[in-house]
C-alpha cells in the first residue's frame, strides 16, 4: 500500500487567504463586480488621456450604447430562463415531495448511526459539516485504538491513514470556527476535501490486512468506509444546494442591475441629439458618458463574477466519489 505522508500544509487546499482565491471564490460577488467596473473605468480613462479614444463622435458612441441595450435585454431574458430552471426543480406531486424528504431524513439517520452516542445531526449545512467532521475524526481514532495485537506493519499503515484523516478534520474544524455557519467558506470546506483517495486507502487496508485485523478493528474500518462514502454524498448534495442559491442570487442581481443599465444606455443615446451632436460640452460630456457606460456595463460584470465562481467550484468538484478526475489546482 502506498500513500504519501501528508502534513496539514500539504493537504489539498484551494489557496486559502490567496488574492486569486478571493477573486474566484471567497470574495463577495458584489465586490468582485465592483472591482471589474472600476478597472473598466480606469482603463477607458487612461485610453482617453492617451488620446486613443474619444466620445465626441455621435455615430460610434450611440452604436456602442445601442449594443449595450440589446445585450442587457438578452441578459434579462436569460434571467427568466434561469428562474424557470430553478423553480422547475421545486415542482412535484405530494408523493414526490414526500419521497425527497424521506430520502434526506434517511441519509441523516444513516450518518447519525456512525456517531458515538445518540446525538441528532444539525439541519443547517455548516453545522452538519461540523457534525460530520467530528464523527469522522472519532471513527478514525477508534480504528487506531482497536489495533491491539496487530503487527508493526499494520499499525504503521493504519497510523499513517488515521493521521491524514485527523489532519483533514482539524483543518475543516479550523475553517468552520473561523467563519460563520453557512458562509460560503464554510460550505466550501466540504467541497474542497476529496474523499476518493481516503476511500481507496480504506479499501486497500482492508484488502492487505483484513485477515490480520481484530474483529473490532475490521468493524471500525467498515464503519469509516461507509462514513467516507456518506461524506462524499454530502459533498455533492451541498454543491447542488449552493448552485441553486447562486443561480437564484444571480437572477435577482441581474434584474436589479439590468433595468438601471438599460436606462443609463438610453440616457447616453439621448444625450446625442438627432443629427446635432452631443448636447453637453467636454469635459462634462466625457465624465457623463464614462459613468453611464460603466452603469450599462454592470450586468455583464455581475454575470462575470457569478459565472466565474460557479465554473471554479464546478471544475474543482467535478469528480464523483470514488473517482477523482481533478488534476492540478482547481484555481
Portion of the chain with pLDDT greater than 70, in percent: 82
Residue 236 pLDDT grade (very low, low, confident, very high; cuts 50, 70, 90): confident
User: Nearest 5 degrees, angle CA 326-CA 128-CA 201?
Assistant: 40
Side-chain-side CA neighbours of 9 within 13 Å: the count stands at 0
Average pLDDT over residues 3-8: 40
Query: pLDDT at residue 246 above 80?
Result: yes
Q: Where are the alpha helices (DSSP H) in 181-214?
A: 184-191, 196-209
- How does DSSP classify residue 320? -
Higher pLDDT, 38 or 11: 38
**How many Å is the Cα radius of gyration of the chain?**
27
How far is residue 178's CA from residue 35's CA, in Å, rounded to a whole number? 25
Buried b (16+ CB within 10 A) or exposed e, 186-225: bbbbbbbbbbbebbbbbeebbeebeeebeeebbebbebbb
Instruction: Output phi, psi for 294, to 5 deg.
Output: -60, -40
Number of H helices, E strands in the chain: 10, 2
User: Nearest 5 degrees, angle CA 138-CA 139-CA 145?
Assistant: 90
Most confident of the ranges 189-193, 282-286, 323-327: 282-286
Q: What is the pLDDT of residue 324?
A: 56
- pLDDT tens digit string along 21-69? 889 888 889 999 999 999 999 999 899 888 888 777 777 788 888 888 8
Q: Residue 151's closest CA among 203, 211, 202, 221?
A: 211
Long-range contact set of residues 286-289: C-beta below 8 Å, sequence gap at least 24: 286/48, 286/55, 289/55, 289/61
User: Nearest 5 degrees, angle CA 133-CA 137-CA 141?
Assistant: 170
User: Considering only 155-159, 212-216, 278-282, which range has the smallest mean pLDDT?
Assistant: 278-282
Average pLDDT over residues 111-128: 84
Q: What is the pLDDT of residue 6?
A: 41
How far is residue 190's CA from residue 168's CA, in Å, rounded to a whole number? 10
- Ranges of beta strands (E only) in 214-273 are 272-273
Give Cβ neighbours of residue 319 (< 8 Å, ≥ 6 apart): 194, 196, 325, 326
Mean pLDDT, the chain, whole residue set: 80
Amino acid at each position: 500500500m502506498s500513500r504519501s505522508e501528508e502534513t496539514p500544509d500539504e493537504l489539498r487546499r484551494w489557496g486559502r487567504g490567496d488574492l486569486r482565491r478571493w477573486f474566484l471564490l471567497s470574495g463577495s460577488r458584489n465586490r468582485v463586480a465592483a472591482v471589474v467596473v472600476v478597472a473598466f473605468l480606469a482603463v477607458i480613462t487612461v485610453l482617453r488621456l492617451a488620446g486613443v479614444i474619444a466620445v465626441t463622435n455621435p455615430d460610434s458612441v450611440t452604436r456602442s450604447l445601442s449594443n449595450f441595450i440589446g445585450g442587457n435585454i438578452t441578459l434579462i431574458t436569460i434571467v427568466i430562463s434561469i428562474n424557470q430552471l430553478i423553480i422547475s426543480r421545486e415542482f412535484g406531486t405530494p408523493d414526490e415531495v414526500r419521497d425527497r424528504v424521506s430520502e434526506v431524513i434517511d441519509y441523516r439517520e444513516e450518518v447519525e448511526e456512525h456517531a458515538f452516542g445518540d446525538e441528532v445531526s444539525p439541519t443547517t449545512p455548516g453545522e452538519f459539516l461540523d457534525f460530520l467532521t467530528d464523527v469522522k475524526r472519532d471513527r478514525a481514532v477508534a480504528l487506531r485504538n482497536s489495533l491491539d495485537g496487530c503487527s508493526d506493519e499494520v499499525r504503521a499503515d493504519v497510523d499513517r491513514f488515521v493521521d491524514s484523516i485527523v489532519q483533514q478534520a482539524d483543518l475543516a474544524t479550523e475553517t468552520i470556527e473561523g467563519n460563520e455557519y453557512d458562509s460560503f467558506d464554510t460550505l466550501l470546506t466540504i467541497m474542497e476535501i476529496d474523499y476518493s483517495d481516503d476511500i481507496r486507502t480504506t479499501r486497500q487496508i482492508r484488502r492487505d490486512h483484513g485477515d490480520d485485523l481484530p474483529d473490532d478493528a475490521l468493524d471500525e474500518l467498515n464503519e469509516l468506509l461507509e462514513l467516507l462514502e456518506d461524506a462524499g454524498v454530502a459533498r455533492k448534495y451541498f454543491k447542488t444546494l449552493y448552485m441553486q442559491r447562486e443561480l437564484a442570487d444571480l437572477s435577482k442581481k441581474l434584474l436589479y442591475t439590468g433595468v438601471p443599465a438599460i436606462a443609463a444606455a438610453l440616457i447616453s443615446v439621448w444625450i446625442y441629439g438627432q443629427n446635432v451632436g452631443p448636447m453637453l460640452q467636454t469635459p462634462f460630456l466625457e465624465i457623463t458618458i464614462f459613468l453611464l457606460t460603466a452603469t450599462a456595463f454592470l450586468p455583464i460584470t455581475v454575470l462575470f463574477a457569478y459565472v466565474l465562481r460557479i465554473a471554479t467550484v464546478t471544475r474543482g468538484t467535478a469528480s464523483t466519489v470514488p473517482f477523482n478526475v481533478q488534476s492540478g489546482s482547481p484555481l
